[in-house]
Amino acid sequence: MTRRSRTYQVGDRVITYNAQEGTITDIVRDDDGGSFCLVRLDHMAGEYAYDFTEITYLRQLMNNKTIKAEPVLSGH
C-alpha cells in the first residue's frame, strides 16, 4: 500500500524550504486529522518532519531552473 498525501508519496525526492535535498520516508497523520511528512536529508543524519507547504518536488525545481547566460559584449 502506498501512503499518499496531496501529490506526495513515500520515495519522492524533494527540496525543503531551507534548500536541503532529501527523500520522503513516511507520511504521518496526526490525531487532529492533519498530516506531515518525514524526510531523510541527503547531508544530515536522521529524519526530519516537514509540512507539505515547506517542500517542493526536486524534479520540478530542476525543470524550472534558470540557466545563467554569458554577458553580451559590445563590439565597439
Per the model's pLDDT, the better-predicted residue between 59 and 21 turns out to be 21
Question: What is the DSSP-derived secondary structure letter of residue 76?
Answer: -
pLDDT at position 4, please? Answer: 44
pLDDT band, very low/low/confident/very high, at 47 (cuts 50, 70, 90)? very high
Residue 39 included in any domain: yes
Indicate the average pLDDT of the chain: 80
Q: How far apart are CA 48 and CA 22, in angstroms?
A: 10
52, pLDDT greater than 70: yes
DSSP code per residue over 8-69:
EETT-EEEETTS-EEEEEEEEE-TTS-EEEEEEETTSSSEEEE-GGGEEEHHHHHHTPPPPP
Residue 17 included in any domain: yes
- E strand or H helix at 4: strand 4-5
Q: What is the CATH number of the domain that holds 35?
A: 2.30.30
**Domain residue limits at 17:** 4-57
pLDDT band, very low/low/confident/very high, at 7 (cuts 50, 70, 90)? confident
Report the number of distinct structural domains present in the chain.
Answer: 1
User: Averaged over 6-32, what is the pLDDT?
Assistant: 91
